[in-house]
Structure formats: C-alpha cells, structure tokens
Chains A and B, each alone.
Chain A
Amino acid sequence: ILNVEQSPQSLHVQEGDSTNFTCSFPSSNFYALHWYRWETAKSPEALFVMTLNGDEKKKGRISATLNTKEGYSYLYIKGSQPEDSATYLCAFIAGGGADGLTFGKGTHLIIQP
C-alpha cells in the first residue's frame, strides 16, 4: 500500500491571507502527482497533474510545485477567498500510470471572512 500524507489535516485562514499545504509521497516508481479540489456534496475536481521534477503549475490564485526526488508537493493559495473553502486532495500514481490514484486524506481549508 502506497503512503500519501497530507498536512495539515485542517486549516483556518483569514480572507485575504495566503496559505500553503504539503503532500508527501513515495519518491520511487513515480508517474504523476494529482491535486484535486473537493467541495462538500460535490465530486472531486482536478486542479493539476504534475509529472516532472521541478514542475510548477498555476491556475489563477492557486499554484503547485513538485519535487519527485524527495517526494513532496506544495499547493499554494494566494489571497484566499471564501470560495476557496474546500478539501484539497493530493493523489500519487506509480508505474505506468494506469493502476489508479492513491489519495492522501486531504487538507480541509476553511476561509474565515
């Protein structure tokens, strides 16, 4: 069983502040690292798929970095807004990429007005 760890488990942030959280994953047999945003009562929605060491991806105020050699990824949110409140999941995929994602337990982010 692959071990994907996310920290912190939950986070309260004031509106307008920036924040970041961590995903750690096995550094061997790496194929890709996914980030998803998951709002209550909805389906997970893909944010980024990262495949190369040193990758940096950005979508609006959200960005992510990847270090495959040491097995970690950071997700950053700049200028948090109430609509950013959600659970953020990272997921690791090994081997050839077809065996399914192994998810971390998520970081539950609450933006306080």
Chain B
Amino acid sequence: DAGITQSPRHKVTETGTPVTLRCHQTENHRYMYWYRQDPGHGLRLIHYSYGVKDTDKGEVSDGYSVSRSKTEDFLLTLESATSSQTSVYFCAISEVGSTSWNYGYTFGSGTRLTVV
C-alpha cells in the first residue's frame, strides 16, 4: 500500500549479526505493529506501538526489540540473529476512527529475512 513501506524487502544475514528492519508510514497513524509469518503458524505479533516511544510486547517478542522515535517510523531489531528468526516480517498500521480501524489494518509488503 502506498501509505506504508517496509525496507529492506529481502535480506540475508549471518547468525549472530544484528539486523534492523524499518517500517515507514505516511498516514500519521498512532498504532503500528510488527508480525512474523511462518508456515503452520500464521501471523504472530512480535511488538506493537501505540505512540512515539510507547511500545509493548506481543506473543513472540523474545529476541526482538523495537523503537519508535517518530510517528512515521517503527524499527524492529534482531540483536543477534538466529536461524529461528528466518521468516517473513510484516508491518501493519491502524488508527482509531480511521479506515484501517473500521475496515481492517493496512499491511506493508513484507520483508523476507533469511538467517544463515
């Protein structure tokens, strides 16, 4: 979707290296979410943010940290990547009263991360 972009789209990294994924939105939405998608598990929530500097853990937060220093950017960091973190990562945005609140979240195009 035009209002939300993820970068990079693809990344291969080595075990033990730090990795940061970026989610950028131009909708001025307060709520931003990071999900991972794995076969047999569907989409699982990693972390979410409800405003600048306000974040909370989701279902599968171990090994991940996030930061939100600006409304438009939500960063997901793997401090020391492991092979179990090989996945497709999706960012989503929402805002109370917005189209995404009433009609469903808006998702980014995803980042495919491979840890070797």
Residues of A within 8 A of B (CB): 1, 34-36, 42-49, 89, 91, 97-106
B64 at the A interface (CB under 8 A): no
Sampled A-B contacts (14; CB under 8 Å)? A1-B59, A35-B104, A43-B90, A44-B90, A49-B101, A89-B43, A91-B43, A98-B96, A99-B48, A101-B33, A101-B92, A103-B43, A104-B42, A105-B40
Q: Which of B19-27, B73-81, B105-113 lines the interface with chain A?
A: B105-113
**Cβ of B104 and Cβ of A36 under 8 Å apart?**
yes
- Indicate the member of A34, A43, A104 with the most B CB atoms within 10 Å: A43
Which interface class (under 10, 10 to 19, 20 to 34, 35 or more) fits B? 20 to 34
**Cβ of B50 and Cβ of A49 under 8 Å apart?**
no
Contact of B105 among A34, A42, A48, A99 (CB under 8 A): A34
- Indicate the member of A1, A99, A104 with the most B CB atoms within 10 Å: A99
Bitwise, B47-88 to A at CB < 8 A (1) or not (0) is 010100000101100000000000000000000000000000
**Cβ of A106 and Cβ of B102 under 8 Å apart?**
no
B33 partner residues in chain A, CB cutoff 8 A:
100-101
Given A98-B50, A99-B56, A102-B59, A44–B44 Cβ distance below 8 Å? no
Q: How far is the CA of A89 from the CA of B35 in the complex (A)?
A: 14
A44 partner residues in chain B, CB cutoff 8 A:
43, 90, 105, 107
B106 partner residues in chain A, CB cutoff 8 A:
46
Contact of B102 among A49, A102, A105 (CB under 8 A): A49
**Cβ of A48 and Cβ of B104 under 8 Å apart?**
yes
Contact of A106 among B42, B101, B104, B109 (CB under 8 A): B42
